[in-house]
């Protein structure tokens, strides 16, 4: 049992885990994708479940929003429960018109405007890269399911409501595909402990189309379904 996760035994959590931010999304995935799911965590309402997918043990754990929260859960899952494969799923905002709502973006690397990585005493700017093994397996899975995705750099930002409306344009000009709030933290923790990770994001809004908050509310649940299916298939083949 760790500070923020009250699973009784190490084996209560599978070696491969899906990590949505919303605990209710974790509950939804467990109840709709996993066989015989059992809840192992309810601390702070951050629900965690373990079940099986095609006979393979899989866990799904809510992590909350932002890099500090993601850092806590990924750290404890690795150090206290021996998790080996961490798969972040959720939503993101697209910077480009050709990456549309409901498309899936896979983060090959995680840029950030956060100081989170400075806590690891890295003497410079460091962009953690996703596991090539998981990326290769995910590509094969996406072809099998006919669920295409775009892969590239994404950026993790600390601020949801920015004062400047055009703040995202510089990131877009550097061919960063999308923005979210957690990838850089889970990536850094996994690199420290030499664990595999990959970031999958379903696009819930597109910045240059305006009114992104309306799009976000409309597509929040729907946007993650294909991503969850693809990631469960990925885990079943590891």
pLDDT tens, per residue, the chain with 238 residues:
689 999 989 999 999 999 999 999 999 999 999 999 999 999 999 999 999 999 999 999 999 999 999 999 999 999 999 999 999 999 899 999 898 888 899 999 999 999 888 888 888 878 889 999 999 999 999 999 898 899 999 999 999 998 998 999 999 999 999 999 999 999 999 999 999 999 999 888 888 765 555 555 566 566 567 777 788 888 888 7
The per-residue pLDDT for 132 is 94
The per-residue pLDDT for 219 is 61
Rounded Cα distance, 24 and 15, in Å:
22
Q: Helix, strand, or coil here: 202?
A: strand
Prediction pTM value: 0.92
Residue pair 224/91 in contact (Cβ under 8 Å)? The answer is yes
Give the residue numbers marked as catalytic. 205
Tell me the domains of the chain and their CATH numbers: 10-236 (3.40.50.1580)
> What residues pair up with 87 in beta bridges, in sequence order?
18, 198
The per-residue pLDDT for 224 is 61
The per-residue pLDDT for 152 is 96
The per-residue pLDDT for 47 is 98
Residue pair 51/34 in contact (Cβ under 8 Å)? The answer is yes
Residue 209 to residues 95, 99, 223, Cα–Cα distance (Å): 10, 12, 17
Which tokens belong to 208? 């240059």
Residue 206 to residues 149, 150, 215, Cα–Cα distance (Å): 16, 15, 8
Residue 179 to residues 59, 110, 200, Cα–Cα distance (Å): 25, 10, 12
The per-residue pLDDT for 125 is 78
The per-residue pLDDT for 1 is 66
Residue pair 18/57 in contact (Cβ under 8 Å)? The answer is no
The per-residue pLDDT for 221 is 61
Q: Which residues contact 217 (CB under 8 A, 6 or more apart)?
A: none
């Amino acid at each position: 049992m760790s500070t923020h996760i009250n699973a009784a035994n190490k084996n209560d959590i599978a070696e491969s885990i899906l990590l949505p931010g919303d605990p209710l999304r974790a509950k939804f995935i467990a109840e709709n994708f996993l066989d015989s799911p059992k809840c192992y965590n309810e601390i702070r309402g951050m629900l965690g479940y373990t079940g099986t997918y095609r006979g393979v043990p899989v866990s799904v754990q809510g992590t909350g929003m932002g890099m500090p929260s993601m850092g806590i859960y990924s750290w404890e899952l690795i150090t206290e429960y021996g998790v080996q494969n961490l798969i972040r799923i959720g939503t993101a905002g697209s910077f480009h018109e050709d990456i549309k709502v409901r498309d899936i973006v896979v983060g090959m690397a995680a840029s950030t405007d956060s100081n989170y990585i400075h806590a690891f005493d890295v003497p410079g700017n460091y962009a953690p890269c996703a596991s090539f093994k998981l990326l290769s397996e995910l590509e094969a899975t996406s072809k099998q399911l006919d669920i295409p995705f775009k892969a590239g750099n994404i950026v993790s930002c600390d601020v949801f409501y920015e004062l400047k409306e055009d703040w995202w344009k510089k990131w877009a000009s550097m061919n960063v595909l999308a923005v979210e709030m957690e990838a850089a933290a889970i990536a850094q923790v996994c690199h420290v402990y030499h664990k595999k990770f990959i970031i999958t994001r379903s696009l819930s809004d597109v910045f240059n189309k305006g009114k992104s908050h309306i799009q976000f509310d409309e597509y929040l649940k729907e946007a993650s379904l294909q991503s969850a299916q693809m990631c469960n298939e990925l885990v079943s083949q590891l």
